[in-house]
Amino acid sequence: MNGVDIALVDWSRAQFALTAMYHWIFVPLTLGLSFIIAIMETIYVKTGDEEWKKITKFWMTLFGINFAIGVATGIILEFEFGTNWSNYSWFVGDIFGAPLAIEGIMAFFLESTFIAIMFFGWNKVSKKFHLVSSWLVAVGSNLSALWILVANGWMQNPVGMVFNPETARNEMLDFWALLFSPTAINKFLHVISSGYVLAAVFVVGVSSWFLLKKRKTVFARRSILVAAVFGLISSAYLILTGDESARQVYKVQPMKFAAMEGLYDGEQNAPLVAIGIMKKAPTPENPKADEFAFKIEIPNFLSYMAALDPNAFVPGINDMINGNEQWGIMSYYDKIEKGKVAINALRDFKDAKEKGDKTKADAALKDFKENYAFFGYGYYDDPHDLIPNVPITFYSFHIMVILGIHFMILFIVVLVFLYKNKLQKMRWLQYVALWTIPLVYLAQQAGWVVAELGRQPWVVQDLMPTLSAVSNINKSSVIITFWLFALTFTILLIAEIKIMLTQIVKESKNEGGH
């Protein structure tokens, strides 16, 4: 870590996190609302009921507002790879660039081609062609997410590549291994289903506001019906994909998995902390400190969640730092040593190649290949620097899970009262639905905090730490652009909220739909 400007690393991380978190305010609504709109329009085409057309066009307007701002933040996010993370871009460019290029060529053009028809093609093209356009926009939006999440999944679990010591770059070896990596597939399915849940909560919440104001009640009830059914199905799928995603984390990112549960000492029959308040985490000086002030546990459930076996051993943070011979876990001390061997071997290989010493080059290359799996560890001296922020990861994970359960219960209760024709009388439920809108955004952000903060200090798991990925640029330029972006994104968010609220209020004053 000698010679690394930690302040530059921290500010670069903060800027990227700021951009990503603002971007993700807009993206999930686009993912889910596009399908809800397509479903609503399908009902309109099937029934010929003009009320469904009005409903579709209203939610389409909100979709358009959100889509435009989401694209703007996404473009800035991709530029930051080149400006702030040029070492990362060099190290992974041959792999990371491929799915992003496909996203731009296939998914973006699919969206941009048909979105114009979706918004401006009413009464200009046939009903069926317009409906197909709406569905293709939904598919295109989700294809964009696929390729971006495949790239992110590779960072969490790098597969399908080989490192070229001549160029110090990772090169694509197997595109299909990259695309169908269990980590990437589960990340994609979990993220898009969370976007569907967010959009469903958004539609139910906004529609509940109409009911509270006693305006557009038919409009609101129909919107709630579609969104709540869509949301309930998505919630169930979200739980299934979340369960499988946790198992993938256990397999390829055991430190993140331990941080998610605040588990310091591994155990068999490990209980799941359902609710807990962290007190003081263990330290090298006091490794047996009690990390929880309060917790409610579900016996054996963490072992079952990790390996589908209640008797499975789940390693804790201390097991990975110090190693555990009984369970075949190599210590971080040993991984750091092997990582330094890999770094030195790569340096020796380059020197030998320049001097034309083939024997020395071959020997260095052999040492490098034997230790490359631990390459990133060699940038560190203290294994404790490889532990993510445990309290933030723990709380973010549990907030996400608890809120996910809340959303599912909300959809069930809403549908029950809608079926009994009592929803309009349940003002308390309408308020709950309305105030769940900010909670679903909180859950989204918490999920990404778990995914990204929980894997620190890695930008590419085990191979490239964040501190080696940043560009060699002036720290002040990163600080200045951080605050400029913060101001710009905040203004964009306020503008979106204001425009959406204006559209919602305007719709509530329109005649019809009572």
- Note whether residue 4 is domain-resident: no
Q: How many residues does the chain have?
A: 514
| Exposure on the CB side of residue 363, measured as CA atoms within 13 A | 7
Strand partners, 163: 170
433 shares its domain with 357: no
Structure tokens belonging to residue 372 = 């490359």
Same domain, 376 and 484: no
Among 363, 383, 403, which residue terminates a domain?
383
Spell out the alpha helix ranges (H) of 121-216: 127-156, 175-179, 182-212
Pair 192, 145: CB distance under 8 Å? yes
Task: Give the whole-angstrom CA distance, residue 27 versus residue 79.
Answer: 18
The series of mean pLDDT values per 10 residues for the chain, 514 residues long, is: 76 90 90 95 94 93 86 76 82 76 72 82 90 91 86 90 87 88 93 96 96 91 96 96 93 94 92 86 59 88 92 94 93 96 93 89 92 93 92 94 96 95 91 96 95 92 90 88 91 91 86 53
* Domain end position, chosen among 352, 367, 383: 383
Residue 514 within a domain:
no
Q: Which residues pair with 161 in a beta bridge?
A: 172
- Alpha helices by DSSP H, listed for 213-253, are 217-252
The separation between CA 16 and the C-alpha centre of its own chain, rounded to angstroms, equals: 14
Residues whose CB is less than 8 angstroms from the CB of residue 328 and which lie 6 or more positions away in sequence, other chains included: none
* Assigned domain for 112 exists: yes
3-class secondary-structure state, position 276: strand
Residue of 141, 257, 261, 242 whose CA lies nearest to 189: 242
Q: Are residues 215 and 131 part of one domain? A: yes
Given a contact cutoff of 8 angstroms between Cβ atoms, the answer to whether 443 and 403 are in contact is yes
Same domain for 375 and 502? no
Tokens 């739909």 belong to residue:
513
Q: Which pLDDT score is estimated for 379?
A: 93
Which pLDDT does position 375 carry in this prediction? 94
Report the Cα 431 to chain-centroid distance in Å.
Answer: 28
How far is it, in rounded angstroms, from Cα 239 to Cα 237? 5
Residues sharing a CB contact under 8 Å with residue 284, sequence separation 6 or more, in sequence order: 384
Note whether 292 and 438 are same-domain residues. no
The encoded tokens of residue 200 equal 């469903």
Residue type, 413: V
Q: Tell me: do 163 and 275 sit in the same domain.
A: no
Whether 103 maps to a domain, the answer reads yes
Query: Does residue 92 belong to any structural domain of this protein?
Result: yes
* pLDDT value for 84: 83
Please indicate, yes or no, whether residues 250 and 272 belong to a single structural domain of this protein. no
Of 278, 300, 320, the residue at which a domain comes to its end is 320
The answer to whether residue 377 is domain-embedded is yes
> Is the same domain home to 209 and 128?
yes
How many domains does the chain divide into?
3
Asked whether residue 217 falls in the same domain as residue 71, the answer is: yes
The domain in which residue 413 lies consists of: 21-258+390-509
Q: Are residues 359 and 399 in the same domain?
A: no
Interaxial angle between packed helices 50-83 and 475-509, expressed in degrees from 0 to 180 and rounded to the nearest 10: 180
Q: Please give the Cα distance from 267 to 392 (Å, whole number).
A: 22
Asked if residue 13 is part of any domain, the answer here is: no
The answer to whether 26 touches 70, Cβ cutoff 8 Å, is yes
Residue type (1 letter), 176: W
Q: Is 418 among the domain residues?
A: yes
Q: Are residues 153 and 202 in the same domain?
A: yes
Are 302 and 279 contained in the same domain? yes
> Which pLDDT value is given to residue 80?
79
In whole angstroms, give the CA distance from residue 36 to residue 59.
Answer: 9
The neighbour count for residue 205, using CB atoms within 10 Å, is 23
Three-state secondary structure readout of 29-46 = HHHHHHHHHHHHHHHHHH
Phi, psi of 461 (to 5 degrees): -50, 120
Q: Are 204 and 228 in contact (CB under 8 A)?
A: yes
